[in-house]
Structure 1
């Protein structure tokens, strides 16, 4: 590694000292070089910085984890998730069209939708769709595309546009990280577009998140706290 490369990497490490991530183009602009130069710098470095999905982040940041395993997440904080979803259920009204996000946090909500209430559910999560499909009176729209087994969800180029075509009354959203300054984030970049489309479209945006997510930053940022109308959690999240 030459001296100029070392200087650039030091500058990037300083920029990421408090966590979070930088887009590759942002990192290149900060250093006054091309994106390819940054890639070469990283290839010749000792691995303190990593590039994931076009985003640069610190490899040793404890708030970032290398992978998300839905089977592991399912049993974490299960009782807290159930209590939070009971509160979310209280917001439902007959005739609502709902967006239900992927992950495990909202599964108790999907499993407990009222049997005597007419609802429409829009989701890109297979586990949510399987739960909702067994509920009488619920019309299900499962958005398809390329399947991602780690989160049991789908992705497609036109998914955001499709979501914007629905008249969503409520969007129930999940997040893997809730940070007062860096906002809401998740593990997978393919989740960003549908989350943002639901936030842009729904009359009411509700974030359901247990306390273990507070103060964390995950690789893919999708919104700020100000983009949410109501946060359903055990403790109110800090705002900047």
Structure 2
């Protein structure tokens, strides 16, 4: 079997079984594990599969995400590590944006002992987390309330963001690809995220490793608009290398 044909068969196998190990693929295709690893590396560069510890999973288009309640209970330890690293990047006197999300909420929790900050957010949960911080000014954008997540969005949100300039924007996203950049499945949420990025000198994506490599329908920002990614140490070396090669500074925690 030619390498090109084998790679097609590998993708079909993973699509059928959802996940596969190097050892299993080696056995099923009758080739050495080193050959399978080389095939998987090439397929991953094409953005069609994502390597995991000891195996591989299919990269599908991101068309939805779990509810806020479910997301808030998933990968909590990883999100806390990401938040603590993000907090280390925030200096006294900074004006920052915290996008709505479960990881950015953890950043707010990591900032409660900081002082002389101005935080702009479209998330009522984040504003409430910081309500007792006397040395932190909180600006809430306004907008239409999404009751399930306490996120604010819409025309009022966009108009508020377009009047501001901040040093750093911490952006949450369901899909971040090293070539296709930031994408989102919900067109209603694209405009506010773009406004956040435009308002910031530096854009920092904070996301757990499961969002890496995903692609969704609507473009939020190309990869060259993203300066930094903070993600979990669970991300594969190949994933990290692809973002670095695209010009993104990456911190794994």
TM-score of the pair, normalised by structure 1? 0.68
**Alignment root-mean-square deviation, CA:** 2.0
Q: Which residue of 1 aligns with 2:72?
A: 74
Q: Secondary structure at the match of 2:155?
A: coil
Aligned 8 A contact 2:121 2:140 in 1: yes
Within-5 A mapping of 1:95-134: 95-134=93-132
Note the alpha carbon deviations across 1:71-93, whole angstroms, 9 max, x for none: 00001111111001111111111
Shift, 1:159, TM fit: 2.4
Task: State which of 143, 156, 159 in structure 1 corresponds to 2:157.
Answer: 159
Structure 1 segments unaligned to the other structure (5+ residues) = 1-60
Task: State which of 141, 144, 150 in structure 2 corresponds to 1:143.
Answer: 141
Shift, 1:62, TM fit: 4.5
Aligned 8 A contact 2:60 2:215 in 1: no
CA distance in 2, matches of 1:95, 1:228: 23
Cα pair distance change 1:101/1:141, threshold 3 Å: same
CA distance in 2, matches of 1:172, 1:166: 15
CA distance in 2, matches of 1:198, 1:157: 13
CA distance in 1, matches of 2:152, 2:83: 23
Shift, 1:70, TM fit: 0.3
Q: Which residue of 2 aligns with 1:188?
A: 186
Q: Secondary structure at the match of 1:195?
A: helix
Within-5 A mapping of 1:1-240: 62-66=60-64, 68-234=66-232, 235=235, 236=240, 238-239=242-243
Q: Which residue of 2 aligns with 1:10?
A: none
CA distance in 2, matches of 1:116, 1:214: 30
Shift, 1:128, TM fit: 1.4
Aligned 8 A contact 2:154 2:192 in 1: no
Q: Secondary structure at the match of 1:63?
A: coil
CA distance in 2, matches of 1:94, 1:164: 24
- Between stretches 192-201 and 159-168, larger displacement belongs to 159-168
Q: Which residue of 2 aligns with 1:34?
A: none
Cα pair distance change 1:67/1:178, threshold 3 Å: closer
Cα pair distance change 1:106/1:238, threshold 3 Å: same
Q: Which residue of 2 aligns with 1:24?
A: none
Note the alpha carbon deviations across 1:184-209, whole angstroms, 9 max, x for none: 12343232112111111211111111
Any runs of at least 4 consecutive aligned residues in structure 1 with deviations exceeding 6 A, and if so which? Answer: none
Aligned 8 A contact 1:122 1:143 in 2: yes
CA distance in 2, matches of 1:237, 1:73: 27
Shift, 1:154, TM fit: 1.3
